[in-house]
Copies of this chain bind each other. A is one copy, B any other.
Amino acid sequence: MYRLKLIFILPCLFLFSNIQAQNYIGKKKDINKILKNIEQFSAFYVAGDIESLVDSYTLDGKIFPSRTKIIEGKEKLLEFWTPRNGNKTIRHKVTPSELKIVKKTAYDYGYYEGTSQNAKGEKFEFSGKYVIVWKKIKGEWKIYLDIWNRID
């Protein structure tokens, strides 16, 4: 019985490690740093810590929200990400489909989703897809380009 289980589990483990290898390409240390930054971005957003969220970007980091030109510069990023009119994001989750590191540049793409809540307490689900270009600045991975759009 124990042996039978191993016969099933081992190929699954092998398959999983291959899928990982395809989707996260680069040194494990760098991959883990970026994955942690992706998680922290969401945590900062939900906590309302917009200063830390904007610090996730390079000083010349650029965001590409719908219906505006490209936005650049710490002040403008703070303004964009700061919630208005009593709205807040109570859930935010980013799921990278692929992450690849090439020297001191990296890209990842995938899906994001979350829940926002307005001043009346009404909740709204949102979801979309994104591409991020990262740069390693003084040993830290920062977001250089951040573009996204809706799924539905």
Minimal beta-carbon separation of A143 from chain B (angstroms): 12
Q: How far is the CA of A148 from the CA of B147 in the complex (A)?
A: 8
Residues of B within 8 A of A102 (CB): 102-105
Q: How far is the CA of A152 from the CA of B33 in the complex (A)?
A: 35
Chain A interface residue count: which class? 20 to 34
B68, B109, B147, B149: the one contacting A151 at CB < 8 Å is: B68
Minimal beta-carbon separation of A80 from chain B (angstroms): 14
Q: How far is the CA of A70 from the CA of B109 in the complex (A)?
A: 10
Residues of B within 8 A of A65 (CB): 149
A97 at the interface (CB under 8 A from B): yes
B100, B109, B131: the one contacting A105 at CB < 8 Å is: B100
Is A130's CB under 8 angstroms from B147's CB? yes
